């Protein structure tokens, strides 16, 4: 499957409970999902692997029909830890090769051995009197050089980046041997990131939107309020009523219409099917103008905010 063929709507596996992950993956594939977004840090790659194994043995869907993405965690940025990290991911996913492997954050943290704790999480020692993340000095290009070697080793077809801005991307492009194939970023009508998206288009870098429904995933974490939900926003609701669709489909169609892929998470069969069906919803200029009016640069997944609150370190990456 080529980069141009990345399925527009994928299943994000962040926050899917381990006990139900395999069933959700199998259910999604049965409904037609062909794009699964994973990460070491989500803590459920082994269960995703169980679900994919069922897909490949119990249905006519083959490995070549499925796009699987995963991500290098922050504690594995030192070059010597990059290959063992993807090998663990591949073992958990029961795959020989990924379609795309991202660097999860431009944040390098002190190494935690898998036998000590896996996934390593953010705090270096959760049992310390004052648990906190422990950043280390690793140039991003050093991590990227090790990522490039993964392609040569046949462990991933492509490599990409997450949570980078234009300046960070431009700097990487001046030094890399293998260009990033994909940028995964938070993207929704409250955070449209127009300049970054245009830059990626100009540079031929595909973009995948995480949290495409906005605040939904963050309310339970205390990182957003229920009142911020785009799913209940009047403007989104009016567009949904106009087209006889759901608010979630409107939000996904907005992103797909801008040329990005999206990876919403759901465990409900009805919502999974609705999300997938958003690919055939075309919004008009009036809809686009109404959604543009929601832009407020509201970022929910911001290490400059949550790292200090949750992990004892002020660590901005977007400013």
H or E element, residue 301: none
DSSP 248-295: HHHHHHHHHHTT-EE------HHHHHHHHHGGG----HHHHHHHHTT-
- E-state strands within the chain: 11-12, 35-37, 67-72, 100-103, 159-162, 182-186, 206-210, 261-262
H or E element, residue 22: helix 18-31
CA distance 43 to 168: 28
Which residues form the catalytic set? 42
3-class secondary structure, 240: helix
Distances (CA, A) of 94 to 48, 49, 58, 166, 210: 9, 5, 15, 35, 24
Give which of 207, 212, 187, 189 is closest to 265, Cα–Cα. 212
For residue 30, give every residue at least 6 positions away whose Cβ sits within 8 Å of its Cβ, in sequence order, or none. Answer: 55, 59
Q: How far is CA 225 from the centre of its chain?
A: 22
Q: Are 88 and 114 in contact (CB under 8 A)?
A: yes
Residue 241: phi and psi, rounded to 5, are: -65, -40
Distances (CA, A) of 10 to 65, 72, 78, 129, 208: 13, 19, 30, 40, 10
Helices assigned H by DSSP within 68-177: 79-93, 140-152, 166-175
- Tokens 């219409």 identify what position? 257
């Amino acid at each position: 499957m080529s980069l141009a063929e990345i399925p527009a709507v994928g299943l994000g596996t962040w926050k899917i409970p381990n006990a139900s992950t395999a069933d959700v993956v199998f259910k999604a594939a049965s409904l037609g999902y062909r794009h699964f977004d994973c990460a070491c840090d989500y803590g459920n790659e082994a269960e995703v692997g169980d679900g994919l194994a069922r897909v490949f043995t119990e249905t006519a869907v083959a490995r070549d029909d499925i796009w699987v993405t995963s991500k290098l965690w922050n504690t594995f940025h030192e070059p010597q830890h990059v290959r063992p990290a993807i090998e663990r991911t591949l073992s958990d996913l029961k795959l020989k090769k990924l379609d795309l492997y991202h660097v999860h954050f431009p944040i390098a943290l002190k190494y935690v051995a898998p036998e000590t704790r896996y996934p390593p999480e953010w705090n270096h020692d959760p049992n310390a009197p004052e648990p906190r993340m422990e950043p280390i000095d690793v140039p991003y290009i050093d991590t990227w050089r090790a990522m490039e070697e993964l392609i040569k080793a046949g462990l991933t077809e492509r490599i990409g980046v997450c949570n980078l801005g234009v300046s960070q991307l431009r700097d990487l492009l001046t030094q890399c041997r293998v260009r990033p194939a994909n940028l995964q970023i938070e993207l929704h009508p409250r955070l449209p990131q127009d300049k970054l998206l245009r830059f990626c288009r100009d540079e031929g870098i595909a973009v995948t939107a995480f949290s495409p429904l906005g605040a939904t995933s963050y309310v339970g974490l205390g990182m957003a309020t229920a009142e911020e939900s785009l799913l209940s926003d009047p403007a989104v609701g009016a567009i949904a009523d106009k087209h006889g669709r759901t608010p979630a489909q409107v939000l996904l169609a907005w992103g797909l219409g801008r040329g990005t892929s999206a990876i919403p998470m759901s465990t409900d069969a009805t919502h999974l099917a609705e999300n997938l069906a958003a690919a055939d919803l075309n919004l008009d200029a009036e809809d686009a103008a109404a959604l543009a009016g929601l832009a407020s640069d509201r970022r929910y997944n911001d290490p400059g905010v949550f790292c200090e609150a949750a992990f004892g370190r002020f660590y901005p990456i977007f400013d």
